[in-house]
Structures are given as structure tokens and as C-alpha cells.
């Protein structure tokens, strides 16, 4: 049984449920298509092998799950976990249309993952850790899922350090993104007011490294992409 959702979880679930059918379109428009490149880079960083077992945490509409399923093949398996049922319905349809027979979608939150521990070769998170209620608990849960030698790959937004790019990024995030996203999603204003704040308050790259180390991951490192707009964090469970 899932624990009672926190106020933040309920708010996030409500907001993202309201834009589920626009989600893939918005991702493409609002990132200028870069989200596909970032997710492919995250998948490459995960160094998956045929036959691996993968958990995609905060899977949304399952883009990372689809990419992972292509790599691990029929001998591997992918479990996509998200707390948002409307998103998962879209993910299930996309996975089915691509013949990803060994990929399944599971309803659950990142603070209490409904999956057995010690079985997964890799855990992927794509733009979701900033939306959880308790980041440390979520990272502990991901650590629990992985078998020894298992890898975490966390793809998240960050804020560029170069002044000019930072100014453009902040203008886009706080001014243009809410207007464009609200228009595309038929006036779902709350989501696009929430998104920039969730990015701004998320730990910076070094702080997230410390959190990953704090729950037991080793060899933690990060790589900035697109001038620091996003970062990929990796670590290994020993």
C-alpha cells in the first residue's frame, strides 16, 4: 500500500495530471528538442548492457524507459515508476507501440518505491528528483533498489554559471516558459509557475553529489550539458 501523499506530492500530481496529454509536445517545444539529446546522453552514461534490469524513477511518459528497453533487449527488463497515472497511461501506450514487451509501468512515489531491493543493475531519473517531497529519502530508496555495482544516473536541470547564459536562462524560465507553456497547455498556469521555482530551489551540482554520497553511493560525479542548463549525476552502489 502506498503511503499517504504529502501536500507537495498531491500538488505535483494534480498539476502534471492536468498537462499529461500535452506533455510530450511541451517537452519538444519548450526545450527546442534538446530533451531527447539530454536523455540519450544520460542513457549512454548509464552504460547499460543487454540483459540488464533497469528502474526508471519518475518515468513520466516513459521516454527513458523506451530508450533503455532498446538497449537491454528481450533478455533484460525495464520498470517505469511514476506517481502520476495519466502520465503512465501514455507511457504504457508508447511502450506497447514500440514492442517493449519486457517494460512495465508501475504506480508509485519515489520516497517509497514499490519494488524489491537489490535486484536492479541501473536506476535512471530524468527531470523528476526536484519534484519529490524528500530528496534524501528518494535517493535512499534508489540505493536500496540497486544490486552491488548498480548505477544511478540522475539527469536534472541546473542553472548555468556563465553570466550571459544565466540571464537568458532565467528570462526564459521565469518569463517566457510560463507564458508559452500555459498557452500550449490550454491555460494550465500553475504548472508553469511551479517549474522554474522547482529548478531554482533544487541543490546545485556539488550539493547533489554530497547527497548521493551521503546515502552510500561511491564514485559520484557529474557532467554539465548545454552550458550547464542540465547536469548528469552518476554514482555506484558498492
Q: Is residue 2 part of a domain?
A: no
- State the greatest distance between any 2 C-alpha atoms of the chain, in Å, as a whole number: 48
pLDDT of residue 25: 87
Q: What is the CA radius of gyration of the chain?
A: 17
Domain of 171, CATH number, reads 3.40.50.150
Q: Is residue 154 part of a domain?
A: yes
Task: Give the helix ranges, DSSP H, for the chain.
Answer: 7-18, 23-30, 34-46, 63-72, 85-97, 135-145, 163-171, 177-184, 189-201, 205-214
Q: Is residue 1 part of a domain?
A: no
Check pLDDT > 60 for residue 4: no
Per-residue pLDDT tens over the stretch 160-211: 989 999 999 999 988 888 888 888 787 676 787 888 888 888 999 999 999 9
Give strand pairing partners of 217: 237
* Model confidence, pTM: 0.91
Per-residue pLDDT tens over the stretch 101-151: 689 999 998 999 999 999 999 999 999 999 998 999 999 999 999 999 999
Total number of domains in the chain: 1
Q: Is residue 201 part of a domain?
A: yes
Using alpha carbons, select from 158, 131, 177 the residue that is nearest to residue 233.
158
Query: CA–CA separation, 197 vs 200, rounded Å?
Result: 5
Expressed as residue numbers, the domain containing 188 is 7-237
Q: Is residue 108 part of a domain?
A: yes
Query: CA–CA separation, 106 vs 62, rounded Å?
Result: 11
Using alpha carbons, select from 100, 103, 50, 52 the residue that is nearest to residue 81.
103
Q: Is residue 104 part of a domain?
A: yes
Q: Is residue 11 part of a domain?
A: yes
Q: Is residue 137 part of a domain?
A: yes
The model's confidence at residue 1, banded by pLDDT at 50, 70 and 90, is: very low
Amino acid at each position: 500500500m502506498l503511503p499517504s501523499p504529502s501536500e507537495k506530492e498531491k500538488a505535483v500530481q494534480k498539476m502534471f495530471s492536468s498537462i499529461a496529454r500535452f506533455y510530450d509536445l511541451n517537452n519538444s517545444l519548450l526545450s527546442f528538442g534538446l530533451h531527447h539529446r539530454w536523455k540519450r546522453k544520460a542513457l549512454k552514461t548509464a552504460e547499460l548492457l543487454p540483459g540488464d534490469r533497469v528502474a526508471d524513477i519518475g518515468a513520466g511518459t516513459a521516454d527513458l524507459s523506451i530508450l533503455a528497453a532498446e538497449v537491454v533487449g528481450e533478455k533484460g527488463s525495464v520498470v517505469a515508476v511514476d506517481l502520476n497515472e495519466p502520465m503512465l497511461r501514455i507511457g504504457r501506450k508508447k511502450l506497447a507501440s514500440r514492442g517493449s514487451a519486457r517494460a512495465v509501468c508501475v504506480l508509485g512515489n519515489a520516497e517509497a518505491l514499490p519494488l524489491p531491493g537489490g535486484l536492479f543493475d541501473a536506476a535512471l531519473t530524468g527531470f523528476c528528483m526536484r519534484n519529490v517531497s524528500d530528496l534524501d529519502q528518494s535517493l535512499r530508496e534508489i540505493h536500496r533498489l540497486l544490486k552491488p555495482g548498480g548505477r544511478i544516473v540522475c539527469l536534472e536541470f541546473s542553472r548555468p554559471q556563465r553570466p550571459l547564459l544565466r540571464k537568458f536562462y532565467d528570462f526564459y524560465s521565469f518569463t517566457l516558459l510560463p507564458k508559452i507553456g500555459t498557452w500550449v497547455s490550454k491555460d494550465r498556469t500553475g504548472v508553469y509557475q511551479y517549474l522554474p521555482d522547482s529548478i531554482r530551489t533544487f541543490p546545485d551540482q556539488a550539493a547533489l553529489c554530497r547527497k548521493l554520497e551521503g546515502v552510500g553511493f561511491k564514485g559520484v560525479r557529474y557532467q554539465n550539458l548545454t552550458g550547464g542548463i542540465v547536469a548528469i549525476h552518476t554514482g555506484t552502489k558498492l
